[in-house]
Chain A
Amino acid sequence: KNEVEQSPQNLTAQEGEFITINCSYSVGISALHWLQQHPGGGIVSLFMLSSGKKKHGRLIATINIQEKHSSLHITASHPRDSAVYICAALNYNTDKLIFGTGTRLQVFP
């Protein structure tokens, strides 16, 4: 079992739909990252959080430390949101970043 698991692996949506991507982890962490990677492109950091909720535009990230779970929400999804979304947990003890395998999102017009 991976220390960081994401679901779903693949997600398709119609433009305008509300999207949720989930990330669960099994280790103690000091922070969790949400990253975005477009096909053939570099990786962009979306959020880094350790508690509560953060919002940036149409993106919202939440984390529940007790449940070891984080979610990334996209409101009013758009085709340009099509990308791979990756969560990465910073292990509190080792300072290692543990990456999930990513969620591939496709938003159709």
Chain B
Amino acid sequence: EAGVVQSPRYKIIEKKQPVAFWCNPISGHNTLYWYLQNLGQGPELLIRYENEEAVDDSQLPKDRFSAERLKGVDSTLKIQPAELGDSAVYLCASSLGLRLNAGELFFGEGSRLTVL
């Protein structure tokens, strides 16, 4: 079975340009996360979905970031306009649920963004 699939793996853009990342979680996984990871640091949550509902988007900079998970499966994360400080790896993860018997996390390979 395929794992969590993310694209693109790498993206280089100039500041003020828009960028979008796509994530296809493991089939049947209700919970989907978008994380941001800077070099040498742990992941920071941007948004968590339970099916199609964004249940935690408190850390998402809503002036420039948006996300959607139509039909509760694939998800996209968009940045518009991108700033230099947005350069990071954007990680998507999914799990069956949150709790112990369902909460094992599966991460994608990440999308590395470089803003020039």
Residues on A lying within 8 angstroms of B by beta carbon are 30-31, 33, 35, 41-45, 48-50, 86, 88, 90, 95-97, 99-102
Contact = CB atoms under 8 A, between A and B. Distances in A.
A31 B100 contact: yes
Nearest to A47: B104
Given A43-B43, A95-B56, A50 B108 contact: no
B107 interface: yes
Contacts, number: 52
B71 interface: no
Interface of B: 33, 41-45, 55-56, 91, 93, 98-100, 103-110
DSSP majority for the A interface?
A: strand
A42 B109 contact: yes
Contacts of B99: 30-31
Given A97-B45, A102-B42, A35 B105 contact: yes
A2 to B, nearest CB: 10
B95 to A, nearest CB: 9
B56 A96 contact: yes
A45 B93 CA distance: 11
Given A31-B99, A31-B100, A90-B98, A99 B42 contact: yes
Given A42-B107, A43-B91, A45-B105, A100 B100 contact: no
